[in-house]
Chains A and B, each alone.
Chain A
């Protein structure tokens, strides 16, 4: 307001017309403003009731129009956008959880297959090991039987040879004894005597 005072002081020197304007509490000389000044005559502009009717009418028109626009156009539109996005997100989440279920099922199936294959592998290995073991033991039994047979044959032969050899021993001894006797004492000794002597010594 200090500017108003300064302006008023400067205008007092200019004449009666300016003085009147300053006295009316009005610092403007433009016609439009001066006109308002006459209406309000110093009233603080927002409290000047002369334009209340016009303000109310235009507020009712503009705000009413705005309200209609908002409720008929803008709000359904933004609401629709948000609704669509909300639905889309829910749908995508459903899809994602469905895919996750599928992936989980696939992983479970894979694990199942893997463990089946492992079990099968084990069983094949076990069967093979068992078969090899059986074959080895069968072979061993066969070999052992063969060997036993050979040993038995050898023993039989040995026994035969031994028996034969032992049976020959008497004859050899008789011959030897006959020869020895013949060489030593001359004459002859009957075979029966020699044989009895040999038997007697063999019996010792």
Chain B
């Protein structure tokens, strides 16, 4: 076992697959994607299988996550945005489950890979663009022209709007990726201090208490971050979808 804090992000091939010279191997990342989907879908499926009129505790967890996302989307994008509910719900549950699974020691954190979060962000922004042009045609471009701006400032404002729109997939993906990455590295570094200090004898074991406390505190913080980042991802998705549904509303 290594004490290198970035070792946990290494992608290892489990089943090498190569198609057309491109490496599509089933890796530990793929394994944890499957585990994420299995855990999230399994939880939601099993807890709601009773279809109880009076929910059990676990069923009400599933119902709460459903209502949480439904009210978030309704507030963010209005009732017309509800057609995107399966997408936002899937994104939230996937990111949340991946983040929480990553909290287990020796588990791989799917969302700590920039390519994964970037793909999810591109999926969101791509949906916004496709649906916006499909629904409103060129009227979707109103999005970049805010109301009530003086004509002289318009080129400046429009260029700022375009840049901010284009930076959305980057900010959305980097926020999630960087939070998960930094949190896990910090945890690993402090936990590494505990291990290396306690190897130094009695004094070292005494000194290891501080990083141990820090590790415990950080673990709590990381659970908060795991939930918070899934929430932020879902909220921003709702806001961006609002632009696709009501492009002229701001």
Contacts and interface: CB of A to CB of B under 8 A. Distances in A.
A130 B116 CA distance: 102
Nearest to A74: B44
Interface in B134-167: none
B12 A55 contact: no
A54 to B, nearest CB: 5
B66 A79 contact: yes
A32 B164 CA distance: 42
Contact of A59 (B33, B53, B63, B196): B33
Interface stretch (A44-52, A109-117, A150-158, A189-197): A44-52
20 contacts: A36-B11, A45-B10, A46-B9, A51-B27, A53-B23, A54-B25, A56-B119, A58-B24, A58-B29, A62-B36, A62-B37, A66-B37, A66-B94, A69-B37, A70-B90, A70-B93, A74-B44, A74-B62, A75-B89, A81-B48
B79 to A, nearest CB: 15
A80 interface: yes
Contacts of B177: 46
A71 B2 contact: no
B115 interface: yes
Contacts of A66: 36-37, 40-41, 90, 93-94
B34 interface: yes
Given A45-B10, A55-B30, A82-B67, 20 more contacts: A3-B3, A3-B4, A46-B9, A46-B115, A51-B23, A54-B26, A54-B27, A57-B24, A58-B24, A60-B119, A62-B33, A62-B36, A66-B36, A66-B93, A67-B86, A69-B45, A70-B44, A77-B51, A78-B63, A82-B63
B181 interface: yes
Interface of A: 1-4, 27-28, 32-33, 35-36, 44-48, 50-63, 65-67, 69-71, 73-75, 77-82, 84-85, 88
Contact of A27 (B2, B25, B30): B2
Interface residues of B, number: 56
A131 to B, nearest CB: 68
Given A56-B115, A56-B119, A81-B48, A71 B66 contact: no
